[in-house]
Chains A and B, each alone.
Chain A
């Protein structure tokens, strides 16, 4: 009984992680998908980088800036997708009603989805990062402490977007599923993954600097081109992430309450 009234139960988080782990283990297609797209992306941008390095002195100097960008972009995109897909699995399997009448709390559900996004990302990105060393001599792991800062900031942004999208799907059903697949692409031009913020017009720069990943990609370029780790950028990203994550949680709770009012928690269709 004590577990029922416990505010946050790691045991219930473990139950949900186990549920998704069983699912991944049972599906070869799901496992392959985790590696396939990051590998394709990395190879394409890696070869482009190799080509450009022979054409311009900038790319010759800034070894790995494109391949690094695509791999960090994948951390952001796959981090969000890993969160959202695990959530969507409940909708697709029509299991959400069972979970919602169980003692599982929203915070535990979200925590399990966050753990799963890390696991899914690790399954995809670790082999791809090793491939990048083998093919292009680009060692993501050599970024050391900077990589940890980049990774942490991008994951928190991915989770924040994933939490918000999950709330939309809870409230509006699978008709809102398309947001899970597409919303992050809005970040691609705005967060300046492949080019410096200075390229953008002034009014777009203001928007770009309001998004935490912009600081990460600028930080990455500062590291790879200028060989400087910009801790100030990481701290600003962290502060913005704290705001973004808090807003996402509030939106999720509001959308969940709205779903309870509108009786949509037992519906899993559109």
Chain B
């Protein structure tokens, strides 16, 4: 009997999803990225329905960032296809980039610009209507009102994350890519960020793909988890099903099982 992993890596999983439902928000089909001779992403397939929150998990070098980069059109796949909001990436990216956004602690905002200036520039780039009003709205949502006139570089790590999140939400995206959104944040600030993401999803129905090493975060936010290892999908299921199938108490234990090669065959 084939495992979920085999199905996902062969592409038949997404094909099934493709056949049985309207076009999903994101569809990766046998997506592959080879750098010189090493495959960073090795023929993965999955589909993300509109309004879903999916966690993309895996150790360092598993291929998470490369996958997200291909989905955003930043990196050209070696083979396979990435369709995002109906557009073939990266070829048709300009058709949909206005409806997408991204947040990562590894990509920063210009430090000398104030928070308001940064949000103004990115709001203009995304063609946000009534920008001044939108900045006020997002600043209120993310408790940034008092920081609007301060240089971004003078803020604490937690405040900078909130600013990056404000930039990621400035265009009210239909699809949000988050790369370790709470990395290096203290537990209180991290919890605050997760609450805002939950609320934003509930209010707007945005589709999210979250790459994270924080299992508690993924367990709380995500209704589905894709485990990657060495560029391939190792498993793909809901957090509850994964815990049950692996016979574990937490996703962290499941993560260690997968990372250390102790994955259990779901279909057995």
Asked whether, in the complex, the Cβ of A26 is within 8 Å of the Cβ of B73, the reply is no
Are A260 and B74 CB-contacts (below 8 A) given A5-B95, A101-B102, A102-B122?
A: yes
Task: Give CA–CA (A3, B124) in the complex, Å.
Answer: 10
Interface string of B97-117 (1 = CB under 8 A from A): 111111010111111111001
Task: Give CA–CA (A3, B65) in the complex, Å.
Answer: 28
Instruction: State whether the Cβ of A52 lies closer than 8 Å to any Cβ in chain B.
Output: no
Asked whether, in the complex, the Cβ of A4 is within 8 Å of the Cβ of B102, the reply is no
Asked whether, in the complex, the Cβ of A98 is within 8 Å of the Cβ of B66, the reply is no
Asked whether, in the complex, the Cβ of A23 is within 8 Å of the Cβ of B110, the reply is yes
What residue of chain A has the Cβ atom nearest to residue B109's Cβ? A95
Which label, helix, strand, loop or mixed, suits the secondary structure of the B interface? Answer: mixed
Asked whether, in the complex, the Cβ of B124 is within 8 Å of the Cβ of A12, the reply is yes
CB distance from B128 to the nearest CB of A (A): 10
CB distance from A135 to the nearest CB of B (A): 34
Interface size on A, as a range, is 35 or more
Asked whether, in the complex, the Cβ of A103 is within 8 Å of the Cβ of B125, the reply is yes
What residue of chain A has the Cβ atom nearest to residue B73's Cβ? A101
Asked whether, in the complex, the Cβ of B125 is within 8 Å of the Cβ of A12, the reply is yes
Residues of A within 8 A of B79 (CB): none
Instruction: State whether the Cβ of B126 lies closer than 8 Å to any Cβ in chain A.
Output: yes
Give the interface centre of B111, B112, B117, B121 by most chain A CB atoms within 10 Å.
B121
CB distance from A192 to the nearest CB of B (A): 40
Residues of B within 8 A of A3 (CB): 98, 127
Interface string of B213-250 (1 = CB under 8 A from A): 00000000000000000000000000000000000000
Asked whether, in the complex, the Cβ of A19 is within 8 Å of the Cβ of B104, the reply is no
B11-36 contacts to A (CB < 8 Å)? 33, 35
Asked whether, in the complex, the Cβ of A11 is within 8 Å of the Cβ of B127, the reply is yes
Task: Give CA–CA (A132, B74) in the complex, Å.
Answer: 48
Interface size on B, as a range, is 35 or more
What residue of chain B has the Cβ atom nearest to residue A23's Cβ? B112
Interface string of A1-34 (1 = CB under 8 A from B): 1011100010110111011001100110000000
B32-88 contacts to A (CB < 8 Å)? 33, 35, 40, 65-66, 69, 72-76
Asked whether, in the complex, the Cβ of B110 is within 8 Å of the Cβ of A103, the reply is no
Interface string of A166-208 (1 = CB under 8 A from B): 0000000000000000000000000000000000000000000
Asked whether, in the complex, the Cβ of B102 is within 8 Å of the Cβ of A97, the reply is yes
Residues of A within 8 A of B111 (CB): 93
Selected interface stretch from A73-81, A146-154, A220-228, A261-269? A261-269
Asked whether, in the complex, the Cβ of A103 is within 8 Å of the Cβ of B98, the reply is yes
Asked whether, in the complex, the Cβ of A18 is within 8 Å of the Cβ of B121, the reply is yes
Asked whether, in the complex, the Cβ of B95 is within 8 Å of the Cβ of A18, the reply is no
Are A103 and B112 CB-contacts (below 8 A) given A98-B102, A263-B75?
A: no
Asked whether, in the complex, the Cβ of B107 is within 8 Å of the Cβ of A22, the reply is no
What residue of chain B has the Cβ atom nearest to residue A263's Cβ? B75
Task: Give CA–CA (A101, B167) in the complex, Å.
Answer: 12
Instruction: State whether the Cβ of A61 lies closer than 8 Å to any Cβ in chain B.
Output: no
CB distance from A235 to the nearest CB of B (A): 37
Asked whether, in the complex, the Cβ of B108 is within 8 Å of the Cβ of A95, the reply is yes
Residues of B within 8 A of A100 (CB): 74
- Interface pairs (21), CB distance under 8 Å: A4-B96, A4-B97, A4-B127, A11-B127, A12-B125, A15-B121, A15-B124, A16-B125, A18-B124, A19-B110, A19-B113, A22-B112, A27-B112, A89-B110, A94-B107, A95-B110, A98-B107, A101-B100, A102-B122, A103-B97, A103-B126
**CB-based closest 10 A-B pairs:** A4-B98, A15-B124, A3-B127, A97-B107, A94-B108, A19-B121, A263-B75, A260-B76, A102-B125, A103-B97
Residues of B within 8 A of A (CB): 33, 35, 40, 65-66, 69, 72-76, 90, 94-102, 104, 106-114, 117, 120-122, 124-127, 151, 167
Other A-B pairs beyond A3-B98, A95-B110, 6, CB < 8 Å: A4-B97, A15-B124, A94-B106, A101-B97, A257-B76, A265-B75
